[in-house]
Amino acid sequence: MKEKISLPGDLIIRQETWSDSPCSRCSGSPCCSNLPLAPLRLSSRKDFVDLLLLSTYGDIFPGLKPSGEWTVYLKRACGFLQSDEGKCAIHGGQDQSMICKSYDSHNCWYIDAFNPHRYTTMIPFSTSMLIQLEKDYQLIKHRFDREPDWDELCRDAFEYRRHTIELPSEPFSPLAESRLPFKKSRGDEYLFFQPYEKPSDIKHFELMSFRLGFPGVYLAVSDTSWAYLVKAKQNTAYLNLVRDEYFPGLAHKDSSFSFDSYRETYTPHSGIGDQWVILRKKDLPLLKSLTEFGPSGQLRRLPAVSALVKALETGRPDRAA
């Protein structure tokens, strides 16, 4: 076991050499194949319809925990996962985020949560399972204050999935541009996830580094707003299922879960016009070098988007001003 290294905050390196770690004997590496994107709690019909709409996107699924909290996951393997051995190609290297390095694989939550033989600590839901859940427990009618028995829910959900053939995900095409007009981001291939606020601590850079390792996940930045952007294809068959069952709930939007749902609260503004700047994992060192941090890792000043664009174009932080 390596010596524990304290970093600002509570992120501590807990890694062993690959062959000594439980990960070398893990089947499928679920931690590297399921990216948690956002926590959610349901308290209204609109929340439920939003969750349904999210579930219609390929590779996106909501998972329910016994606490009643939902988490939206991206079912897509990290770009550094070597599919043959299930080994991380950057294990222990400087490109691997502290989120991965600090994870305690001896007390791994993912093993039970993604057990293919039974559900115990997390239930992964598909669109049709969500509809079934709502019908069985009349969640909307009871304003989401009903708590189904967890063991029963696990059993029913597992049986339901066992007898259901899921539609395959449609492949997405990666984003080629480095800028994305706000208006275009309303298209049905772009999902925006909080934190919508700017990072405030050096630990947030580790989270960015972890998330941006997954294909189709980017950081969308403007002068006023930051968000994780996920490129995914909406599955029309699932969307039609939602339309058929919950059409009145869809009247408030254009059937897509996109930037629109945040528009009432946030109005992005960018110093380079009506556009998001798109950052990838490879851009993070440059972003970090242009950011001012305090002595304990708190963030003092982020670069203006126009300076960031200039630095990205030249690849030279010193030319950013």
Which parts of this chain interact with ligand SF4 (CB under 6 A)? 22-23, 26, 29-32, 78, 80-81, 88, 90, 96, 100, 103, 105, 108, 110-111, 213
Whole-number minimum distance, CB 88 to ligand SF4, in Å?
3
Question: Cβ(159)–Cβ(102) under 8 Å?
Answer: no
Whose Cβ is closer to ligand SF4: residue 87's or residue 161's? 87
- Residue 233 vs residues 23, 26, 130, 141, 258: alpha-carbon distances, Å: 31, 30, 19, 31, 12
- Residue placing its CB nearer to ligand SF4 in the complex, 43 or 83: 83
- Decide whether 81 or 309 has the Cβ nearer to ligand SF4: 81
CB 278 within 8 A of CB 218: yes
CA dist 105 and 88 (Å) reads 13
Which residues are bridge partners to 299 per DSSP? 293
Q: Which two tokens stand for residue 196?
A: 């919508």
Q: How far is the CB of 128 from ligand SF4 (least distance, A)?
A: 27
Between 16 and 47, CB nearer to ligand SF4: 16
Q: How far is CA 105 from CA 16, 243, 293, in A?
A: 10, 42, 30
- 86 touches 28 (CB < 8 A): yes
Tokens of 13: 């390196």
CB of 31 to ligand SF4, least distance (A): 3
CB of 242 to ligand SF4, least distance (A): 31
DSSP reduced 3-state for 179: strand
Residue 23 vs 157, nearer CB to ligand SF4? 23
Q: Which is nearer to ligand SF4, 74 or 309 (by Cβ)?
A: 74
Continuous H helices in 148-263: 150-162, 202-211, 236-250, 260-263
Q: How far is the CB of 89 from ligand SF4 (least distance, A)?
A: 7
Task: Compare residues 207 and 299 and give the one whose CB is closer to ligand SF4.
Answer: 207
CB 72 to ligand SF4: min, Å: 17
Q: At 55, which helix (H) or strand (E)?
A: helix 45-55
b/e sequence 8-33, b meaning 16+ C-beta within 10 Å? bbebebbbbeeeebebeebebbbbbb
**Minimum gap (Å) between residue 288 Cβ and ligand SF4:** 17
Alpha helices in 163-229 (DSSP H): 202-211
Nearer to ligand SF4, 97 or 235 (CB): 97
| Cβ–Cβ < 8 Å for 318, 220 | no
In whole angstroms, how close is the CB of 98 to ligand SF4 at the nearest point? Answer: 10
